[in-house]
Amino acid sequence: MSLAEWITGAGRNREQAIEQLAFERNMDYQQSAERAQFDQLGEFRLFRKGRRHKFYNVLSFRRDGTRYCVFDFNYTIQRGNSRRTLRQSVFYADSFALSLPEFRQKPETFLDRLMELIGMKDIDFADFENYSSRYRLEGPFEKVIRHYFSKEILDLLSGQKEMSMEGLNYYFLLYPHSKRIAVSELNTFIDLGIMITELFQLQSDRAKQLLGLPE
């Protein structure tokens, strides 16, 4: 909780509202969590940023064998004598039904477009210009990533703004860029994360079938 939140009581109000949401949706709630609970996420770019990582207002639940968590995440970036703490919401899915290639999606910026002009291309989809103009998608195995980003997923993401995603093996992350989701919007954020996870699970099943692997 920041000093401003402590003074105004906004941080406590958020805690209480999220705890109430947990009760309404039959989820577990933790006011704070240790980094060890999320050690498996250490390979993701988001969790390699900054220092003084803090995980709090943690919602967790299981659905069809998949573990889901939604939480507030703080990290501090220091440059010289200047220090800034960034706060954001994160949706996380852990599922053996996922077999995701390594990928990262982030909102495309003006700098990204300049980089494309000098040859640093990302993965675009000719039939989904809205998605491709809105997001930068990258990863080491383009052909595999294209399989996972089905029409259903691209349709869904084309209607979203400012959402970043990361995937690797059994793990999937969805988060807005340096922004906490308002409690009034958390239900929508959670449902979006579940929908994308289930679509990726469907594509994982299809990939296993193509390769003749056991499901």
pTM of the model: 0.88
Question: pLDDT tens track of the chain, all 215 residues?
Answer: 544 454 444 568 999 999 999 999 999 999 999 877 888 888 899 988 878 889 999 999 999 999 999 999 999 988 877 888 899 999 999 999 999 999 999 998 867 666 666 656 899 999 999 999 899 999 999 999 999 999 999 999 998 888 999 999 999 999 998 899 999 999 999 999 999 999 999 999 988 787 665 55
Q: Domain locations in the chain?
A: 3-211
Closest CA to 156 of 130, 123, 177, 186: 130
Q: Which helix (H) or strand (E) holds 143?
A: helix 142-148
